[in-house]
Amino acid sequence: MGRHGTIAGRKAAQDSKRAAMFTKYGRAIIVAAKAGGDPDYNATLRVAIEKAKAIGMPNDNIKRAIKKGTGELAGETYEELTFEGYGVGGVAVIVETLTDNRNRTSSAVRAAFDKYGGNLGTPGCVSYMFARKGVLIIEKTDDIDEDALMETALEAGADDMITHEDSFEIQTEPAAYTDVHGALTEAGYELVDSDIEFVPSMEAAPSGDDQIKNLKKMLDVLEDNDDVQKVHHNCSLDLED
């Protein structure tokens, strides 16, 4: 299945890290709300709220995060930091973070790379192997007409739709992401996952059980860190199996 993974794998990963995801989405809402607290006029905030609701984040938590972002409640100030490097087997890794303590986050990310045989690099050392794209995942069911779904997505500004064994993956330019997200939601399609991601243009894979184990551990440690919002990689193996 490659790096895309399966629907079951994605859902299992989300369920196992639900508590941590509340923290991550809370921070994303705070940052998005700085541009305005009304989701009707702030598409980034609207998508962040929808994603938070999809994992069962309580409305009170969402409202409190919005108020922190708009300044109605006192809250932390977060900055975005992105780290790039290699895991074992030459797998390229990009780590996106939101943090209120740059030194703490930098130390934790570096420690994860070092402990599991990776190498943290300089900005740009692996990002040239990725393209920034909106990615929206819809589970494949008998009720979904593939042609109708593609037409809805393309009319809203999507670039492409890739059909996997158990899902449809719709890709967009970042600027078109919110329009496509909104069009699909309004048309009644349920999104299993959606975000703006780094999509690899080339792939790599660790060799042997030990390398695969170390890569999985490194990615898990990074994803479990509250400061880390998203971890992208170009491993061709399905690491969620």
Cα 126 to Cα 91, 117, 131, 234, distances in angstroms: 9, 17, 11, 10
> Would you say residue 10 has pLDDT above 70?
no
Quote the pLDDT of residue 7. 65
CATH 1.10.10.200 assigned to 2-70: yes
> Would you say residue 1 has pLDDT above 80?
no
pLDDT 10s digits, 80-110: 999 999 999 999 999 999 999 999 999 999 9
> Would you say residue 2 has pLDDT above 50?
no
Spell out the residues 6+ positions from residue 84 whose beta carbon is closer than 8 angstroms to its own: 92, 93, 94, 95, 120, 121, 122, 123, 124, 125, 126, 127
Quote the pLDDT of residue 17. 67
Closest CA to 159 of 186, 187, 131: 131
Quote the pLDDT of residue 12. 59
- Indicate the DSSP class of residue 175: G
